[in-house]
Amino acid sequence: MKAAYLKMHTAIFLWGFTGLLGKLIQLNEGVLVWYRLLISSAAIFLILLYRKSLPKLNYRQLRQISGIGIIVMLHWVMFYASIKLASISVAMICLSSIALFTSIIEPIVNKEKFDYLEILFSAAAMIGISTIYASDTGASLGIIFGVISALLSAIFSTLNRNIASKHGSLTISLVELTSGMIFLTLLFPLYFFIQPTEKLIPDFQDWMYLLILSLVCTVLTWILSLQALRKVSAYTMGLALNLEPVYGIALAVLFAGEAKILNWGFLSGALIILITVTAHTFYKFYKTRKIKSTELF
């Protein structure tokens, strides 16, 4: 069990590096994400090829998973756009609202009743984000992209849960990453028209950061989190994930010089969001236990 907890926290700590690496890589968000998709999908393809377990999907399954992959790609583009336009800290704190967005998205997708207390949690998180928004109007566009990134993450997480039991995780990851890369490639003419960029080929330093981002912070963390989930509960993982923005912001302060942007408005908004997310996680745990105990009787 100790090994499982170590793997879980190692994965979450490494996820915290994604923001810092996004800041350090001197490519715009679209090109950065394209390389991340390329390297990660190639690595997973080689793993499946070695295991002789390449996916065999029909057209309907391929279309469904590919659609989710496009959402994943858009989520990453928005996340790194938030970093480029504002800061790592802003992007990470916006990302911490994923669970709260999920509480609204899940009932819509699964055609279930809304839990109005969860909607109240979401409203409280929006107050926190609004507080950060008001504290630094120069970061307003980055905050908007960060919130959209969190919303997209909530959508693809909900959709992934609905197909997770039907296909292997590596199969899902390979199809999603590959489809995201293909769709982004098709979007590039329009993307470069809106967002011109002179740098398309990474330099040596960018390649090093991209390899770390793709192989360590994407592929390795997926393997570690999957192994951890065999021993720890999904609730424990969800609660521990609240540490990701904490790690991300700490790394931004230590290595990206972002201490100067952490004014009282940012800290107040971040505190509201973190308290809300933690309270929501405990509420979900209590709610799940209550449902299970009711089913027993």
Sorted by sequence, the CB contacts under 8 Å of residue 297 that are 6+ apart come out as none
Confidence of residue 224 (pLDDT cuts 50, 70, 90): confident
Among 7-16, 64-73, 153-162, 192-201, the minimum mean pLDDT is found in: 153-162
The tally of CA atoms less than 13 A away on the side-chain side of residue 156 is 22
Q: What is the mean pLDDT of residues 85-109?
A: 86
Q: Which of 19, 275, 258, 264 is nearest to 134 (CA)?
A: 264
What pLDDT score was predicted for residue 293? Answer: 57
Name the one residue in this structure whose structure tokens are 């069990």.
Answer: 1
Q: What is the mean pLDDT of residues 198-218?
A: 95
What Rg do the C-alpha atoms of the chain give, in angstroms? 19
Report yes or no on whether pTM surpasses 0.85.
yes
- Per-residue pLDDT of 107-141, as tens digits, reads 888 888 888 887 888 888 888 888 888 887 778 89
What pLDDT score was predicted for residue 296? Answer: 47
C-alpha span between 291 and 58 (Å, rounded) = 36
C-alpha span between 77 and 72 (Å, rounded) = 9
More confident residue, 14 or 264: 14
Over 80: is that where the pLDDT of 161 sits? no
Over 50: is that where the pLDDT of 178 sits? yes
What are the φ/ψ torsions at residue 55 (nearest 5 degrees)? Answer: -65, 140
- Terminal-to-terminal C-alpha distance of the chain: 31
What's 137's DSSP letter? G
What pLDDT score was predicted for residue 192? Answer: 93
- Per-residue pLDDT of 238-274, as tens digits, reads 667 777 888 898 899 899 989 877 788 888 988 888 8
Q: What is the mean pLDDT of residues 273-287?
A: 80
Name the one residue in this structure whose structure tokens are 């055609």.
Answer: 111
C-alpha span between 160 and 176 (Å, rounded) = 10
What is the percent of the chain with per-residue pLDDT over 90, rounded to a whole number? 44
Cβ atoms of 117 and 56 closer than 8 Å: no
Q: What ranges do the domains of the chain cover?
A: 2-296
C-alpha span between 231 and 186 (Å, rounded) = 41
